[in-house]
Amino acid sequence: MIQQRVAAWQSLDWHEELAAAVRDPHELAALLDLSLSDLGISDSANAQFPLRVPRPYIARMARGDPRDPLLRQVLPAHAELIAAPGYGEDPLEERAANPIPGLIHKYFGRVLLILSPACAIHCRYCFRRHFDYAANTPGRARWQAALDYIRRDASISEVIYSGGDPLAAGDPLLAWLTEQLAAIPHLMRLRVHTRLPVVIPARINAECLAWLTGTRLQTSLVLHVNHANELDSTVATAVGLLRGSGVTVLNQSVLLAGVNDCADRLTQLSERLFAAGILPYYLHLLDRVQGAAHFAVEPARALSLHRVMRARLPGYLVPRLVEEVPALPYKRPVN
């Protein structure tokens, strides 16, 4: 049954969808029945972190609405150029936890591997928008240093594929690395942090499912969805393939002003996630990355929104409200 569903899905080529992502503001405006002045794109912000948005994601935006919550997440805005106190290029101080190129070791028992510098979509609030990917994307030969690091530390039980978007890396590399990791006896789990199955659902194809499920490691996939409108039947199909293959699927969102800072929207997001087979995991306060301050929601307001969610939803649909504090070895609950 799963094989039949994967075969039907194969007619869509994720590489083509990735290459066809919209980078031209004029084209984006035309696709949304808007004028360029409606969008209000800042050329300088676009030069610093270029517009990139895949067409399946654009298809879920409302036509004629410059305030659409999905559009807002990808539009280079003038506000990004305004310096804000307390906001910097490395808000989580990851440089201090980067002992080997491509590997970040910040939390006990877990390491993160930067599999790809690329993303299918450029989210304006991304905490890694200034990350030094050039120094952190080793070729296959140089992954040996990261593998040796993991082999030497028996306290590490979980590896997290990150990026950029790790699924922007090709399946041959992902399959090879997963095989290498599975041969390390103290590793138990593999987690993949990705937005690709949301913005290009065809990314979940037979090759991807093969390495994700053909390993002794317990696998989970943490998606990144901020608004219920990001979920449609194509995303649900991709999630169904993952779950049907035994992969646990979770979601983390970022609380973003003008996108989801509303109790109704957050409640609907949790309900829509669960309907698509995804469990809400984290709701993050914005990381203080330079260029994203206009998305910030005050902690007190975040807490009051979260209280409404708790009152409206069963406990398993209420994500943990957390913030990253650079010096702490865990995400700090906001309460």
Q: Which residues bind ligand SF4 (CB under 6 A)?
A: 119, 121-123, 126, 128, 163-165, 195, 224
Between residues 195 and 294, which has the closer beta carbon with respect to ligand SF4? 195
8 Å CB contact between 52 and 263: no
8 Å CB contact between 94 and 106: yes
Q: How far is the CB of 121 from ligand SF4 (least distance, A)?
A: 5
Place of tokens 């009051």: 304
Q: How far is the CB of 292 from ligand SF4 (least distance, A)?
A: 10
Q: How far is the CB of 152 from ligand SF4 (least distance, A)?
A: 28
Between residues 198 and 212, which has the closer beta carbon with respect to ligand SF4? 198
Burial class of residue 117 in the structure, from the number of CB atoms within 10 Å of its CB (0-12 exposed, 13-18 middle, 19+ buried): middle
Between residues 187 and 221, which has the closer beta carbon with respect to ligand SF4? 221
Between residues 90 and 165, which has the closer beta carbon with respect to ligand SF4? 165
Which residue in 75, 62, 29, 54 sits closest to 235, CA to CA? 54
DSSP state of 53: B
CA distances from 296 to 4, 94, 271, 276, 302 (A): 44, 21, 24, 28, 10
Which residue in 184, 249, 164, 173 sits closest to 207, CA to CA? 173
Q: How far is the CB of 157 from ligand SF4 (least distance, A)?
A: 24
8 Å CB contact between 280 and 223: no
Between residues 6 and 28, which has the closer beta carbon with respect to ligand SF4? 28
Between residues 187 and 242, which has the closer beta carbon with respect to ligand SF4? 242
Q: How far is the CB of 324 from ligand SF4 (least distance, A)?
A: 13
Between residues 191 and 195, which has the closer beta carbon with respect to ligand SF4? 195
115 phi, psi to nearest 5 deg: -80, -30
Q: How far is the CB of 291 from ligand SF4 (least distance, A)?
A: 12
Between residues 74 and 305, which has the closer beta carbon with respect to ligand SF4? 74
Which residue in 261, 251, 332 sits closest to 295, CA to CA? 261
Between residues 112 and 321, which has the closer beta carbon with respect to ligand SF4? 112
Sheet with 218-224, edge to edge strand ranges: 103-104, 110-116, 158-163, 189-193, 218-224, 248-254, 279-284, 320-323, 332-333
320 phi, psi to nearest 5 deg: -75, 130
132 phi, psi to nearest 5 deg: -85, 80
Q: Which amino acid is at 208?
A: C
Q: How far is the CB of 89 from ligand SF4 (least distance, A)?
A: 14
Q: How far is the CB of 122 from ligand SF4 (least distance, A)?
A: 5
Q: How far is the CB of 184 from ligand SF4 (least distance, A)?
A: 26
